[in-house]
Structure 1
């Protein structure tokens, strides 16, 4: 374990608030939905985690996000320019997906821009948290667009507002999802903590707990890391972590990984899949959550079941998720939802998680009529056909009724 940093933890060295309606972001959902694994709800509504090598406390009201930042005095002296460089933050204009051609839609979705000159700690941390939560993206506009295209999304999203993608550090994001193989959220979180405690750098203490940075690629590539991780309970993932770290160093280190933000989606995904233990799903998670590929749609068992239930009924007959089916599901959602398909998928994925299903299971929450499978256009056609059939059936019944009445009258006269 790395040595603890000396120095006394004091009051937060930076704090502030960011005006943002709760309909645009729900911390209680996105911080526990399997995007990042280092946020803990220490008490109801208050979240603590390590971000940009600082300890952050977050909470929100109906109209704002509040934050406090803690760190050891030795780390507070880091220059403003170094913080921006190590964060991987870029000019917001670089985040606009090239596949969006509608300039008016771009303007509606991207409502703010990150200032080019960050002169104070307060500005830096405010801009970094905006970047992390991608608050420049107007989620209400996207929800409205997806709801116009998809009645199933419209039905589900009514109860799950404020779901958005985090913009994470690619190193932490990649190795977290290497740990996710055949795993669940609580165990992944435990593994990530062990990884940080054993190979990261102590960034300070808060409420009696020591917090650590995420390890660098170099630290995870050292000899002996694989066997040490196996002893810590990582199993076969220990090999993936150690070998992938070495591969990344051979390709140019963390600079190479971050450079994939500037590559097209297909190229970035292909590059990631050359790493040990990185398949299509992990690659898509990294593309979506840290490499700015908003069209990436990670497909796991949850998403497969979502697709089978609400969009592609034939999938229910498939016994396994083949590469072909994986691509078909992703392509279906990209065609339906457009360039931010990965964000739309995250809404349905979050709604499908067990902890949120249980909260939504009360009788009062289940009275709305569920939409039929298919797009709004397809469903409208079905309804027209059903109405026509019903009218036709009513006409036949009326005719039969009249014939029977006439026959009875005739019998009475006889």
Structure 2
């Protein structure tokens, strides 16, 4: 198996990136992460993370950070080793899927507005957004409704095994993965057949999404060209798609980096660290769209055009922190005084 190498001028942590809740099909086996996207198996591992020398570009980039406490991701570089199959050495896929064009110095400088973000960036240095396939992302997040990460992963695999393409990578111990089916592949699937895979009540919404995409009424490239608010409204016309799912699709697959998905973990940390308690109940999360809109609007205003990156750091940080974070809520008070 011939492997390619690629280097990025900052820390890119694969484990944080794959386990932070944005993607559900990555497995760590035999020293490599393996996943499948766009019909291609990817095997990838980190070869090294090392400090930049004084004359390297990444060292210069670290000086752009606005806080000395969180510049670790910027004064180090990451080298990967990867293999793709069936198309070998598919570096364009790697660059696109892993969003290697993202300007991390600019992004981190933009979102590290306060101590909670500095702490989150430092703890999960190298967490990075991915650019996933839009139809797969839509169906995956419909599957996420009232579910857990292990069950989501299991259901995505079941759907792929039943309707996707079997791909065997003979160059890597006969590794077998199944591509995620596209809308055309799923055209003949009935709601009952989808339910038989264990998709439950979500099957009706998934069937509707399949039919809408196949009809041409929903075009993902059109959504990519729309502004954030237009694309979000269009997605929310689909049955079962609320603000959070729409934002997940926009952020994780359609390059809308201002999207700010709000689930219970993000809601908690926003309340605890940025707002006085808003008296929002977790059990009524889906019925508090006006209040949730206020949270999202604040986040986009406060964090700016890279609010989606801030969201992913905040989500992972709060989800893995048992007690509430220790940070002042003065940020809101100070912001109000300035206004």
> Is the TM-score greater than 0.5?
yes
Instruction: Normalising by structure 1, report the TM-score.
Output: 0.68
2:184 maps to 1:218: yes
Counterpart position of 1:36: 23
Unaligned 5+ runs, structure 2? 50-77
What is the CA–CA distance in structure 2 between the aligned matches of 1:67 and 1:19, rounded to whole Å? 11
Alignment of 1:26-175 (within 5 A): 26-43=13-30, 46-60=32-46, 61-62=48-49, 63-71=78-86, 76=87, 122=89, 125-147=90-112, 149-175=113-139
Structure 1, unpaired ranges of 5+: 1-10, 77-120, 362-368, 382-414
**Corresponding residue SS for 1:331:** helix
Find runs of 4+ consecutive structure 1 residues off by over 4 angstroms: none
Q: 1:272–1:283: 8 Å Cα contact kept in structure 2?
A: yes
2:274 equivalent to 1:325: no
CA shift digits 1:241-260 (9 cap, x unpaired): 1111001112356xx12321
Per the alignment, do residues 69 and 257 of structure 1 end up closer, same or farther by CA in structure 2, a change over 3 Å counting? same
Q: State whether residues 311 and 373 of structure 1, in contact with CA within 8 Å, keep that contact through their aligned partners in structure 2.
A: yes
CA distance in 1, matches of 2:26, 2:262: 24
**What is the RMSD computed on CA atoms of the aligned residues?**
2.3
Give the equivalent residue in structure 2 for 1:411: none
Q: With structure 2 as the length reference, what TM-score do the two structures score?
A: 0.82
Structure 1 residues 377 and 329: alpha-carbon distance in aligned structure 2, compared to 1, 3 A threshold:
closer
Structure 2 residue 245 is matched with structure 1 residue 282: yes
Alignment check: 8 A CA contact 1:151 1:375 kept: no
Q: 1:186 aligns with which of 150, 155, 159?
A: 150
Say whether 1:250 aligns with 2:215: yes
Alignment deviations for residues 90-138 of structure 1 (CA, whole Å, 9 cap, x no partner): xxxxxxxxxxxxxxxxxxxxxxxxxxxxxxx64xx22221111111112
Q: How does 1:223-302 map to 2 (within 5 A)?
A: 223-224=189-190, 226-252=191-217, 256-302=219-265
Distance 1:341 1:223, change over 3 A: closer
Deviation at 1:150, TM superposition (A): 2.1
Instruction: State the secondary structure of the residue aligned to 1:57.
Output: strand
Partner Cα separation in structure 2 for residue 376 and residue 246 of structure 1: 44
Question: In the alignment, is residue 19 of structure 1 matched against residue 7 of structure 2?
Answer: yes
Residues 250-288 of structure 1: CA deviation (Å, up to 9, x unaligned) = 2356xx123211111111111111122211110010011
- Per-residue deviation, 1:297: 0.5
